[in-house]
Amino acid sequence: MSQPDVTNSPAPAGKTKARKRPRKVGVSLRARGEPMIWLTGGALVICIAMIAGLLGLVLYQGFATFWPGELLRYELRDGQVLMGELAREETHRPDESMLAGLAEDEQTVARDLLGKSEEGVLARRLVRTGNYDITRTHFHWVEDFQVARTEAPEWAAVVERMEWGRFYGWPIGFKTEGQMVTEDPAEVWSLYRENIDEVIARRAEITGLEKHEIGAINRRLEDMRLALRQVALDEGEDSAAWQAKKAEYDRLEVSSKEAFSRISVDVDALRQENARHVLVMKTVDGSEVDLHLADVVRAYLPNRMSTGDRIGVYLDRWWEFLADEPREANSEGGVFPAIFGTVSMTLIMCLIVAPFGVLAALYLREYAKKGPLVSAVRIAINNLAGVPSIVFGVFGLGFFCYIVGGSIDEVFFEAKLPSPTYGTGGILWASLTLALLTLPVVIVATEEALSAVPNSMREGSYACGASKWQTIRRIVLPRAMPGIMTGMILAMARGAGEVAPLMLVGAVKLAPELPIDSVAPFLHPERSFMHLGFHIYDLGFQSQNSEAAKPMVFTTTLLLITIIACLNIGAIFIRSRLRRKFNVSQF
């Protein structure tokens, strides 16, 4: 008995006919979209791997920079002796001409090493030999076939100095007031550790006297000189006012010289006290060198250190890096002025770009009527987002520094001319330049956030009798604020890492004077500043000792990424609070 055709039979009254699911047999993967799923997922994985690889390299190199390694002594087959820290190792494939130019024993060892190598390569290492004031070289390449013997001398010492970089040698004596106190290495090192803290304290006191006390005297004299010149410009040098001001300036000059003499006596006494202590070192070639403790930043015996001692040196170097000023052409010391300049410039930029960007977006979205003019403005904003940053730097230099700053100097700082005050690069002009650079990002993000607010909320506000501005202020802006914060995060991330425009409008290689200090008027927006991005460029491409500065490049990069991440995390936290408060869909 045949079965009835259920598929074609009419459906019972009141019931919907069930639709057959399409058969999967014969349907191509392209039609189902699975290749695109794999393609997009693979692209995401590649992007994440690239970012993770870059961050991993920066993290590894950055955190390993300050770890104190062993100090090794190399005896080469040609009789040369080297001592230093291992910077890096690599392999290379030598050609026949290189092997033919070697000495007989080196050639034999090199061919043996090539025979043992499956890939036909030789290894070599870059050794940081230091002692630049003696050898006039910082590094030395050492081939494996050149090395006859390698050892780690127990009393080999690393001395980090205020000038000339690192010194490598053995402590063989300690002098006090020119007299040799001891020549035993253990006693020498004990005397060094007893005296170094006091020497460093006196050196800091000298720096304070020279920077603050003498600096205050020079500032008073300069202010009086400018006041005297201003009176001469206003009333002439024959006027009674100028004669009175000149007499006041002469009295101040006399008292300043007396104060300067008193401070100089104190400074000389501190320097003489520091000069009493001398560390006598022996280099790898047998030379004896006197190192004054006043010139020593830090010294340690790497081959005698425990793990705890190494951690102590590591943390001490990190603290110096974060809290001190740079030295040795920025390749040594700290980057605190660059940290302060980067954070200050970024915050000032955000304070400037936020109100202008939000107000411009509000007008375009809420007030402006659609038309060719508004369309042209939007096109211009989108085009500005693609303009190279160096163009903004040129504009900032020409408009802010030369035109606006020059006008301010002519009106308010005439006495200082021709030396510019605001007519040159400074942190204010750099912040304004980067505000222009990031303004399109804020405008576009704010417009998108405003458009995400439902029109029903606006209409409900109007129905309750609120005006347009009341609706914008109390309904639209609070609910668009998370999207506005997104634009600020993007602007902050881009502005903090820009370097090219800053080179034209205020960032410099070295600026120990911070834009904010205890000197009236306390805030100095006209001052040049240091920036971590420019510091990285200077270390990588302008440093005299590029190999020694290479680890600092990674460390400074890690610090810049960390600062930008902290600023962004703060903004993201505020955005999440606003998002939870209003609980609406966000851009």
List, for residues 156-186, the tens digit of each pLDDT value. 999 999 988 899 999 999 999 888 988 899 9
Residue 340: partners with Cβ closer than 8 Å, 6 or more residues away? 514, 515, 516, 529, 530
Burial of 52 (0-12, 13-18, 19+ CB in 10 A): exposed
Say whether 421 sits in a helix, a strand or coil.
coil
Best CA proximity match to 122, nearest among 139, 147, 105: 147
Report the 10 Å Cβ neighbour count for 213: 16
Can you give the C-alpha Rg of the chain in angstroms? 34
Q: What is the pLDDT of residue 587?
A: 41
Look-up of token digits 């050492």 = 142
Question: DSSP letters of 260-318?
Answer: HHHHHHHHHHHHHHHTTEEEEEE-TTS-EEEEEGGGEEEEE-GGG--HHHHHHHHHHHH
Contact present, 155 and 116 (Cβ < 8 Å): no
Q: What pLDDT is recorded for position 30?
A: 58
Q: Where are the domains of the chain?
A: 72-152, 187-298, 336-514+521-582
Q: Which two tokens stand for residue 146?
A: 């050149």
Average pLDDT over residues 325-352: 88
Are 321 and 199 a contacting pair, CB within 8 Å? no
325: phi then psi, degrees, rounded to nearest 5: -90, 155
pLDDT tens digits along 446-468: 999 998 888 888 889 889 988 88
Could you please state the CATH topology (level 3) that the domain comprising 336-514+521-582 is classified under.
Answer: MetI-like fold (1.10.3720)
Q: Name the residue with tokens 């020549």.
A: 183
Q: Report the C-alpha gap between 257 and 93 in whole angstroms.
A: 67
Bridge partners of 277, per DSSP, are 176
Give the residue from 386, 404, 383 showing the smallest Cα distance to 395.
404
**CATH code reported for the domain at 72-152:** 2.30.30
CB atoms within 10 A of CB 33: 10
pLDDT digits (tens, 9 = 90+) for 430-450: 999 999 999 999 999 999 999
Is the per-residue pLDDT at 223 higher than 70? yes
Q: Which pLDDT score, from 0 to 100, does residue 1 have? A: 43
Higher-scoring residue by pLDDT: 17, 262 = 262
Q: Cβ distance 272 to 278 under 8 Å?
A: no
3-state secondary structure of 155: coil
| Distances, alpha carbon 30 to alpha carbons 35, 253, 435, in Å | 6, 88, 47
Provide the pLDDT for residue 581: 74
Residue entry with tokens 């090199």: 110
pLDDT tens digit string along 465-498? 888 889 998 889 888 888 888 888 888 888 888 8
pLDDT of the residue at 56: 92
CA distance 308 to 544: 34
Q: Which two tokens mark 341?
A: 């300049």
Helix H or strand E segment including 49: helix 34-64
Task: State the DSSP H helix or E strand holding residue 326, giving kind and residue range, or none if neither.
Answer: strand 326-327
Residues in the chain: 587
Residue 220, pLDDT above cutoff 70: yes
Mean pLDDT score of the chain = 87
Contact between residue 344 and residue 523 where contact means Cβ atoms under 8 Å apart: no
The Cα–Cα gap between 349 and 351 comes to 5
Report the run of H or E that residue 332 belongs to, with start and end.
strand 332-333
What is the spatial distance between Cα 304 and Cα 336, in angstroms, rounded to a whole number? 32
**Cα separations in angstroms, 88 against 49, 69, 75, 149, 316:** 25, 12, 18, 19, 23
What Å distances lie between residue 220 and 207, 241, 419, 520, 542, CA to CA?
19, 19, 18, 12, 36
Q: Are 585 and 452 in contact (CB under 8 A)?
A: yes
pLDDT at 509: 87
**Band of residue 332 on the pLDDT scale cut at 50, 70, 90:** confident
Task: List strand residue ranges (DSSP E) for 40-145, in order.
Answer: 72-76, 81-92, 122-128, 139-143
Question: In angstroms, rounded to a whole number, what is the distance separating the alpha carbons of residues 514 and 525?
Answer: 10
Report pLDDT for 2: 46
pLDDT at 375 over 80: yes
User: What does the pLDDT look like over 115-150, one tens digit per residue?
Assistant: 888 788 889 999 999 898 898 888 899 998 889 999
pLDDT in tens, 396-441: 999 999 999 999 999 999 888 888 989 999 999 999 999 999 999 9
Predicted TM-score (pTM) of this structure: 0.85
At 28, the pLDDT band (50, 70, 90 cuts) reads low
> Which range has the top average pLDDT, 3-17, 29-43, 251-265, 317-331?
251-265
**Does position 585 have pLDDT exceeding 60, yes or no?**
no
Instruction: Identify the residue with better confidence: 415 or 19.
Output: 415
Mean pLDDT of 569-574: 85
| C-beta of residue 155 within 8 angstroms of C-beta of residue 171 | yes
CA angle 415, 417, 419 (to 5 degrees): 125
List the structure tokens of 251: 């009295």
Helix axes of 546-582 and 336-362: crossing angle, nearest 10 degrees = 40
- What are the start-end ranges of the E strands in 101-234? 122-128, 139-143, 147-151, 157-161, 166-176, 179-182
pLDDT at 6: 45
Strand order in the sheet with 81-92: 139-143, 122-128, 81-92, 72-76, 147-151
- The one-character DSSP state at 465 is T
Is-cis flag, bond preceding 521, omega within 30? yes
Tokens encoding 173: 């004596």
CB atoms within 10 A of CB 456: 8
DSSP state of 502: H
| Cβ atoms of 468 and 356 closer than 8 Å | no
The whole-angstrom separation of Cα 76 and Cα 99 is 17
How many degrees, rounded to 5, is the angle at CA 334 between CA 135 and CA 276? 60
Q: Distance (Å, rounded) from C-alpha 506 to C-alpha 524?
A: 13
